[in-house]
Structure 1
Amino acid sequence: MTNEVRQTCASGASGIAARETAPVPPAVLLAAGVIAISFSAIFIKWCSAPAPVIGAWRLWLSALLLSPAAWRQRHAFATLSSRDWGLLLASGGFLGLHFLFWIGSLHTTSVASSMIITALQPLFVMIGAFWAFGERTPPMGWWGVAVAMAGSALIPLGDRYQAGGALYGDLLSLLGTVAISGYLLVGQAVRSRLPSVVYNLVVFSVAALVLSLASAGAGIPLTGYPAQDWGWFVLLAVIPTLFGHALFNWLLRFVEAATISVTALGEPVGAIVLAALLLREPVRWPQVVGGLLVLTGVALYLHTIRRHPSASRA
């Protein structure tokens, strides 16, 4: 769950004014990106490795794949101040915590519950931006927050009878959502001054190091896993990261950030459908109703700030 474009929308940005023409219809690429990121939760469910190990190898491998492109733009590193490096380190730390908590949630709760709670991320960014930067949201945006929060409150009703600590998994998903919001907020200033590939390389590497240290601290080895798990590590790095989030970043050249942000709301829906088909996970009525309310509330919020971008600044 590392979708940077949601941050752009949450901070009131409307995207690039003059856009290029995409070589492929953007709608096709947006649909492909949603499908790609929807597989993230499925691959994690199929992987038997512990949460910090999955997160560490996903990010190490993603950073490795991004290295050639980042090397071609290495001059960008010379523009960074010591404060910028501090923000990058903090941003990467929050990203590491996000993967630690969110992947852990998928080991104890359903894909539906975990993904619905994670969909609240733009709202946490909004709240954090209000307290940290004094950014304002129009009243209709707050109605979106209220609707989404009401929907999220229904999730525990569907999980209270599920064995295996589902409520604990819901809490981990919530903590992961707070962490990814911190990642977006802290990295907001420096990200705008760096090429996306360079920013991602640094924060992915920092987050991978955080997860590697967490594994070492818990006495969990980073190696010795079956070949099947290594296959999931690679697929996580390639499909949801490069063909999902990196594709969305590239599409900012052709479509508005708000369009990508709303499209990315398809991830919980896609993940839930895939979980029902591939994992045979049941979807209970509180998850259906709560999920619809969460997605409606978040969509209302994103629509509001898209119509009133200047209102997000005090």
Structure 2
Amino acid sequence: MTNSAHNRHIHQSRLEHFHLHLAVRVSPSSRPSLLRLFGTLTVGTIAISTSAPFIKLAGMRPFALASGRLLGVAILYALVGRDLASAWRGLERCERARAIFAGMFLAAHLGCWIWAFEFTDLPSAVLLLVLQPLFAAWFGSFVFREKVTSSAITAVILAIAGLLIITFDDLTISPTQLVGDALAAAASLFMVIFMSLGRTLRPRMSLPAYMTMTYGGAGVWSLILALLMGVPLLGYPTSSYLWLLGLIFITTGVGHAAFNYVLPHVRLFTVNIATVAEPALSILGAVLFLGQRLTVYELMGGILLVAALFVGVRDEKQGTAATQIEQVALE
């Protein structure tokens, strides 16, 4: 065997080992029904669509808001589930390391996402949501060997078109906004990495234990960063703390929890394509509750986003998704 062939063999062996340790342990017999999964994903998408407006209305510094939000939801789920200690003891050493890194990437996601709004406007941040399913398709293919189907590609194209139509009139470009756009893009990447790590951990513990462990860890990381940066944690208006409660109970306690519930049972891409529905839901909410008039661009873009979501989950409905992912990593 030549040196190049030998090196290729070693690389392939290492890649196989990598995939082996990150495969998902999901028993088809224990998988919830598709109706329940998609219903939960719908509720989660509606709840998560409150993220951007709540963050803007809270007006708190990024890591102050992130630490309060993460620690708050960790406490909430610690009160609901009481098996955290046994769940931690049941993890192997590599899984514990994975949980710690998951918390780090979640903290980085929220910190960057909140920080982005200090530099960029809402339309630009919304447009960059399309990066999340793109990153998810790549990670799903590389890490979990999920096939990037024609439906997934079509869904991303529809999402890009829909988001461009919705945000086109409001988009502005400046050096400052480019910094915010970079932070929003980084936030999308960090969220997909967090989900990739979490996808291998969720089947090992209950949802409350997972939420307490990973979100609590992320909250500690955010708090440390806030203290190191000298960010004030107190002294904000009362309204800021009320919006923080909204982020804890609705956006994270319901929205993120719903996504984490379905995470082991569907493709990584399917969970993340749901995020592109946020702008359509925000527009619908403004029309229904704020009396805002629906523009032609918003209507056209919203239709394309709904179509992107429908096409993106079609493979799941046809049964080509998570039930085909064999569990081997956690033997």
CA distance in 1 between counterparts of 2:63 and 2:29 reads: 34
1:17-28 aligned within 5 A: 17=31
Structure 2 residue 49 is matched with structure 1 residue 38: yes
Residue among 201, 211, 222 paired with 2:212 = 201
1:274-289 aligned within 5 A: 274=285
CA distance in 2 between counterparts of 1:310 and 1:30 reads: 15
1:237 and 1:301, CA in 2 relative to 1: closer, same or farther beyond 3 A?
same
Name the aligned partner's letter for residue 313 of structure 2: L
Offset, 1:212? 1.6
- TM-score, scaled to structure 2: 0.71
Structure 2 residue 257 is matched with structure 1 residue 243: no
SS at match of 1:309: coil
Offset, 1:19? 5.2
- Aligned residue in 1 for 2:64: 53
Residue among 146, 150, 165 paired with 1:139 = 150
CA distance in 1 between counterparts of 2:321 and 2:103 reads: 29
Task: Map Cα deviations across residues 118-168 of structure 1 (whole Å, 9 max, x no partner).
Answer: 254233212112123333222332233344345566788545537894443
RMSD over equivalenced CA pairs, Å: 4.2
- Aligned residue in 2 for 1:97: 108
Structure 2 residue 141 is matched with structure 1 residue 126: no
CA distance in 2 between counterparts of 1:188 and 1:92 reads: 13
1:1-314 aligned within 5 A: 16-17=30-31, 34-72=45-83, 74-149=85-160, 158=169, 160-161=171-172, 165-246=176-257, 261=271, 266-274=277-285, 293=304, 296-307=307-318, 309=320
The structure that has the greater radius of gyration is 2
CA distance in 1 between counterparts of 2:34 and 2:168 reads: 47
Bigger relative CO (Cα 8 Å, ≥ 6 apart): 1
CA distance in 1 between counterparts of 2:85 and 2:129 reads: 33
Asked if the contact 1:276–1:282 (Cα under 8 Å) also holds between the matched residues in 2, the reply is yes
Task: Map Cα deviations across residues 42-84 of structure 1 (whole Å, 9 max, x no partner).
Answer: 2211112111111110111111111122324542222101101
Offset, 1:181? 0.5
Q: Quote the sequence identity (%).
A: 24
1:129 and 1:233, CA in 2 relative to 1: closer, same or farther beyond 3 A?
same
Please list every run of 5 or more consecutive structure 1 residues that lacks an aligned counterpart in the other structure: 1-10
Task: Map Cα deviations across residues 87-131 of structure 1 (whole Å, 9 max, x no partner).
Answer: 111111111111011112233334344234325423321211212
Name the aligned partner's letter for residue 101 of structure 1: C
- Aligned residue in 2 for 1:5: none
1:284 and 1:87, CA in 2 relative to 1: closer, same or farther beyond 3 A?
farther
Asked if the contact 2:276–2:305 (Cα under 8 Å) also holds between the matched residues in 1, the reply is no
Offset, 1:286? 7.6
Q: Which stretch shifts more, 160-169 or 119-128?
A: 160-169
1:17 and 1:214, CA in 2 relative to 1: closer, same or farther beyond 3 A?
closer
Offset, 1:14? 8.2
- TM-score, scaled to structure 1: 0.74
Asked if the contact 1:52–1:215 (Cα under 8 Å) also holds between the matched residues in 2, the reply is yes
